[in-house]
Chain A
Amino acid sequence: MSRLTAVSLLRWLRRVPGYRAVSVPVVRRLRASDLAVDLTTRLFPPDYDPASTRTPLRAGSLHGPDVDRLPVVAFLALGRESSDITQVLESVLQLQRQSRSFRPVIVVDQPAFAEARRADVVMDHLVPRSGWHPLLAGDVTYDSYVAQRILDLRKHYPLVHLVHVTGPTIAEVDCQVIHQLARWLPQDLDVAVTPSALSGEQG
């Protein structure tokens, strides 16, 4: 059965009266069944494929038909000076051009949105610790707030790694994770460095 046929069949099924009333409890019971899960895992052993789904997102230095399949690496740079963020961003983009294995999401507590737009990356912002006052904090501690936002990164992006940037450059172990990530990606992924990004590196 082709994928198109399967999708068409599923759409038809969803229109059948009572479909949800039957399917939801059935699926729920199957998922809760150890036997069903064991059989499925034996029959269809899951291979880890961080490029299995397409998730549109700003891609930084990369482009191409498969760029939406690249996983996301989040870079958390808190408590840094604005000038450090520029350097961090450059390091991230250089790593991206070298590895061609990820799309970055930069999380900062200093507004550097103009640089994010120039680099065509997603930049999100946390209130800095110094600005965490009762009006916007409520009963929430700053660390609890940051924790929630870190968890949300995993929820809203196809996140494969989270880098805590504590210095002007990316730690070597994180660089290695990102380079080795490339080995897990399909070799035929059609992704390339954006020409303007490449000329910036060479210039």
Chain B
Amino acid sequence: MLSSNGTGMGHLTRLLAYARAMPETTAVHVVSLSQAVPAVSDLGYSWEYVPSRQATGMRSATWRRLFTDRMTQILTRVRPDVVVFDGTHPYRGLDEALAANPEVRAVWSRRGMWRPGRNQHQLPKAAWFDQVLEPGDLAAAADRGETRTDASARRVRPVTLLNPEELTDRAEARAALGLPSDGPLALINLGAGVINDLSADVGAAVAALRERGVGICLATPPIADAGRTPLTSDVHVVRHFPLSRHYRAFDLMIAAAGYNSFHEALRFGVPALFVPNLATSLDDQQARARQAEAQGWAVAAAQLTDGAAGPAIERLLEEGERLSAAAVAADPGNGAADAAAHILEVAQR
């Protein structure tokens, strides 16, 4: 499994979903540009790290030579039957590494929901791979990106790392995360932010939740620097991978509309307010969030600042249970097993 991501877990999480769905006899090794990769050892997988261009500060051409050499060495040494790359931008050098190891098959795990008109120049790289695999999206009806017309891609149902039956119950979840056993709790998963800064979405959400007597839990990814996590006495920092295992600890969630958090919230029935991250270069979180609202599955808000947090959270508190139940009822199931089957079929070609 090969993931991009300089500091995040998004691509890694999807790859791990595929890996978990494979037969136990399948040997899986993870290579990642994400500094969060050590977390995969908690799930029993070996890993190797390749520093990303951002992590090194190198020029692109210089980094590309490093990446090409490392990938070629890894593929030559490990000799996998198939390599699965999850990302929207296959790095130059991967093609050379694959060419140097022609017996290795390759799959591009490429999620959709691209911002309209962007990233078209990456599409021809499908030629590097034996198969393009598209993890489905519950918001697919709103997809206006360049991948939506690719008839050659194998599409599966939306992919999440866990299944609903794997979640801990409320009491166990709260105990595992060190949270109070009683009282309403909200999970805020909006990425970095200063909680006392009302000019930012995180701060606005915290203030609005406090006003309504809802306890606040701030999701911190495994890679985050613990020493710099902003804290006040009434904010619980939750850092666990995979955090979704303990989602039943939370009465509601305020999250960006990235692929994993979006599908985990909806599939696992957590009443959700989606605030799309508009700073992403490619991921059409706005369309994803709006589609969830249009389908009656969640609340969506463009921002929480300038007084928007209160009404959005009020609506979530009033309607969240009904919305999340509708989302669960519409769940087509986890596509991870379908994806794993496709990957293994490619491996045997």
* Partner-B contacts on A (CB < 8 A): 55-59, 111, 113-114, 116-118, 122-125, 127, 131, 133, 135-140, 145, 148, 152, 155-156
Contacts and interface: CB of A to CB of B under 8 A. Distances in A.
Contacts of B46: 127, 131, 133, 135-136
A156 B65 contact: yes
Q: How large is the interface on B (under 10, 10 to 19, 20 to 34, 35 or more residues)?
A: 20 to 34
B99 interface: no
Given A111-B38, A156-B65, A56 B78 contact: no
Contacts of A56: 57-59, 62
A153 to B, nearest CB: 10
A123 B51 contact: yes
Nearest to A152: B69
Contact of A138 (B7, B48, B79): B79
Given A56-B58, A135-B78, A125 B27 contact: no
A135 B59 CA distance: 33
A55 B57 CA distance: 9
A195 to B, nearest CB: 18
A19 to B, nearest CB: 21
Nearest to A57: B57
Task: Specify which of A57, A113, A116, A155 lies most central, judged by the most chain B CB atoms within 10 Å of its CB.
Answer: A113
B35 A117 contact: yes
A185 B48 CA distance: 36
A-B residue pairs, 9 tightest by C-beta: A113-B35, A58-B57, A125-B49, A138-B77, A111-B38, A156-B66, A57-B57, A122-B56, A114-B225
15 contacts: A58-B55, A59-B57, A111-B49, A113-B35, A113-B49, A114-B225, A125-B49, A136-B46, A136-B77, A138-B77, A139-B77, A148-B73, A155-B69, A156-B62, A156-B66
A117 B225 contact: yes
A135 B62 CA distance: 29
Contacts of A137: 77
A57 B56 contact: yes
B223 interface: yes
Nearest to A137: B77
Contact of A57 (B49, B58, B78, B226): B58
Given A125-B49, A156-B65, A135 B56 contact: no
B29 interface: yes
A122 B69 contact: no
B57 A136 contact: no
A122 B66 contact: no
Given A135-B29, A135-B78, A140-B77, A55 B225 contact: no
Contacts of A117: 7, 35, 225
A77 to B, nearest CB: 15
B29 A136 contact: yes
Contacts of B35: 111, 113-114, 117
Contacts of B224: 114
A58 B59 CA distance: 11
A156 B76 CA distance: 19
Interface in B17-55: 27, 29, 35, 37-38, 46, 48-49, 51, 55
Contacts of B29: 135-136
Contacts of B49: 111, 113, 124-125
B261 to A, nearest CB: 22
Contacts of A139: 77
B194 to A, nearest CB: 18
A133 B78 CA distance: 11
Nearest to A135: B27
Contact of B51 (A122, A127, A148): A122
Residue of B7, B55, B70 most packed against chain A (CB within 10 A): B55
Nearest to A110: B38
A118 B223 CA distance: 12
B223 A113 contact: yes
Given A125-B49, A131-B46, A135-B27, A118 B225 contact: yes
Contacts of B27: 135
